Amino acid sequence: MKLNFLRGAVAASTMTALLAAVAPAFAASSVESEYTHASCEGKDAICGVIVVASAGSFTLDWNSTEARDSQPAGPLTHPKCPGLDKKFDRNVPQGNYNKFTILASCAYKVKVKILSGNGKDENLYLTPGCIIKARVEGDLGSNKWVLDVSAANNNIPTNSSNKPIDQGGYKCGRQKNAGF
């Protein structure tokens, strides 16, 4: 199996459509910082989007996304995945978000630090054309991750639960549920 399996599906949607699908990420919110990997530009990009939001009664102090050491075996993992590490130091007020347009199929560790509060992390698996909207809800004393996972359009392969999958059948979302 080759990584270019989904090039047509993602190219058909174009990265512009993928990015536009994220625009209404959360009601009455705005993007604080955004990053697009250089390999995610152009019609043949094999990428997805992770949106990280502050949905609690707090401000996020910082947010980072880094490629994990644990990736699917064989040719499924994007060859440029290892070494990806991006951190935003800008505060994310309640209701706002950061956006990462990054390589797929790749496993990532997403981290946040709540201003005057705790840090949280979540291991995610991003498939081509997948949008993961990850938000931290709650208050300073009690907070949790909540994920919304969807395909950018109807051309993206999904499983029976309507979750985007890659050519290996690995599911977009929490890494522990991806299947590898």
In the numeric block, which tokens belong to residue 72? 């699917």
When divided into structural domains, the chain yields a total of: 1
Q: How many CA atoms within 13 Å lie on the side-chain side of 113?
A: 10
Specify the CATH number for the domain of residue 142. 2.60.40.2890
Q: Cα separation of 152 and 20, whole Å?
A: 9
- DSSP summary character for residue 115: T
Q: What are phi and psi of 173, to 5 degrees?
A: 135, -145
- Domain housing 63: 3-177
pLDDT of residue 81: 84
pTM of the model: 0.85
How far is C-alpha 15 from the geometric centre of its chain's CA atoms? Answer: 14
Q: Cα separation of 154 and 161, whole Å?
A: 14
pLDDT of residue 7: 45
pLDDT of residue 157: 93
Q: What is the mean pLDDT of each run of 10 residues along the chain (180 residues)?
A: 41 47 57 94 89 93 92 78 90 94 94 94 95 93 93 92 90 87
